[in-house]
Amino acid sequence: MKSYYETLGVSSTASKDEIKKIYRSLVMKYHPDTSNVKSKANETKFKQISEAYAVLSDDKKRRQFDLELEEFKKFGRIKRPQGGGSGRAGAHGMAYKFHVLDGIYKPKNMIIGLALGFATVATLKSALGIEEEESRMQKNKKEDGKTKLVEAWYNKQTRQWEQPAPWNEHFRKLNPPIELVDRNKVRQSTS
């Protein structure tokens, strides 16, 4: 597959004037009205030259073509726009309509992206132990919405679990460790 540069026989760094000069000489050689030899091959060559010049003489089209040519050199293919007339593929099989976001918003790509996102979140949750914490919290809930476990501290004098009471002088002096205990085992404070 020839690029437009190869069709005109110029380098990719050629100036507009160089491209114009080469184009004019090729037109004189292959144009059906000026050529001594009239053949299908000459007509095809003339069309290819005209198409190459149309792209390379227009700065915007040339930039798009250069981007696609670079992509083709890297990956061996060019992203083509979907649908009828939004892009134009030349005689060389290269589309010069370049779409950066082509294919990103297709349903198939969105489904794959969502699946990868959920897999990543699940992996991170299990690696960080977040999932275990969430399941422990779910088990702690009763059907009425209240938790089964509550924060409490063990009072050695009364031999009972009590709820923390930071306003209570005795509790502040002891500064006991607080644990999660079954709600039914905890004595409700009266003070």
Question: Which domains are seen in the chain, by residue range?
Answer: 1-112 (1.10.287.110), 139-187 (no CATH)
pTM of the model: 0.41
pLDDT of residue 53: 92
Exposure letters 79-104 (e unless 16+ CB within 10 A, then b): bbbeeeeebeebbbebbbbbeeeeee
* Distance of alpha carbon 50 from alpha carbon 46, whole angstroms: 6
Predicted confidence pLDDT, tens digits, the chain (191 residues): 578 888 888 988 899 999 999 999 888 888 877 766 677 888 888 889 999 999 999 999 989 888 888 877 776 655 554 444 444 444 444 444 444 445 555 666 677 778 888 888 888 877 776 666 666 666 656 555 566 778 888 888 888 888 887 777 877 788 888 888 888 888 765 55
